[in-house]
Amino acid sequence: MSHVTLTPATLAPHFPGVRALLGPEHFARLLAESFARAAELDLPPDAALHGRLVQPDAPRPAHVPARLVADVAATERALAESAQLAPATRDQPRLGPELSDWLRRPDAAHAVLQPLRALRIIPVAFRLEGWLRAVRAGRIPAHLPRREERVLLCYPLAGNRHVAPAPWLADVEPAAGRFLSLLALGTPLGEALADAAAHGLPETQAHDALLEALLEGLFTELRGD
């Protein structure tokens, strides 16, 4: 997560959402258990923390679903990774929306898109985006996020030459998230479109999702054209 030596005090700020869900007492206990496990198994502390959170007996209030805690932890870990990689993306070229018309042509079926290295795609079971933004801005919402399958895109915004890009979080519906995930894994466009159609995402909507991704600069290189 970082080149700085991690301690409970330096790791905790990366997980404000987890702390908000668990409360300070459970969160402190979780950090202590995670660092003990990290030392025992020679794991990075943030990886040990995430691993501990997905276990059924992880400390948490009774009214907070275990899956919600795990989803928030996975998202916050992705945000931290994206932030660490963000400075390297400052001068990285990004494909733009001018490609969208070409990518609709039949001869673009073999095109492969190279994703931004700092892009993270996280399937979640709750509407986390707005809730997590509020928590990370210092506000604790009155209600927990509602249950709904979504996919979160975590990536650095395009920055200028003097300002490192900041990580951003976007929410998409599951079929669009699956389509973008396949593209990010190197699946040729035609195959990804066929898979999207098989999972209920019409080609026009898939292209709309791709256009939005190009507008956000999520892909850096085009191969197989």
pLDDT in tens, 162-217: 555 668 899 999 999 999 999 999 999 999 999 999 999 999 999 999 999 999 99
pLDDT at site 1: 54
* Cα 76 to Cα 79: distance, rounded to the nearest angstrom: 5
- The pLDDT of residue 49 is 85
Give me the pLDDT at residue 54, please: 77
Predicted pLDDT at 47:
82
Per-residue pLDDT, 59: 84
- Is the pLDDT confidence value at 6 over 80? no
**pLDDT score recorded for residue 145:** 96
Mean predicted confidence (pLDDT) in 96-109 = 92
Does 3 have pLDDT greater than 90?
Answer: no
pTM over 0.85: yes
Domain boundaries, the chain: 8-64, 89-223
**Over the stretch 116-166, which tens digit does the pLDDT of each residue have?**
999 999 999 999 999 999 999 999 899 999 999 999 999 988 765 555 566
Distance between CA atoms of 80 and 154, rounded to whole angstroms? Answer: 10
Measured in whole angstroms, the distance separating CA 87 from the mean position of its chain's CA atoms is: 17
Q: Judge whether 97 and 215 are in contact, CB under 8 Å.
A: yes
Percent over 70 (pLDDT), the chain? 93
Residue 2 clears pLDDT 50, i.e. is over it: no
Share of the chain above pLDDT 90, in %: 61
Task: Provide the pLDDT for residue 5.
Answer: 60
Q: Which residue has the higher pLDDT, 27 or 54?
A: 27
Tell me if 180 sits within 8 A of 209, measured CB to CB.
yes
* CA dist., res. 10 & res. 18, Å (int): 15
Helix 203-215 vs helix 174-184: crossing angle, to nearest 10: 60
**Average pLDDT over every residue of 22-38:** 89
What is the pLDDT averaged over residues 31-58?
Answer: 84
pLDDT at 48 over 50: yes
Q: What is the mean pLDDT of the chain?
A: 89
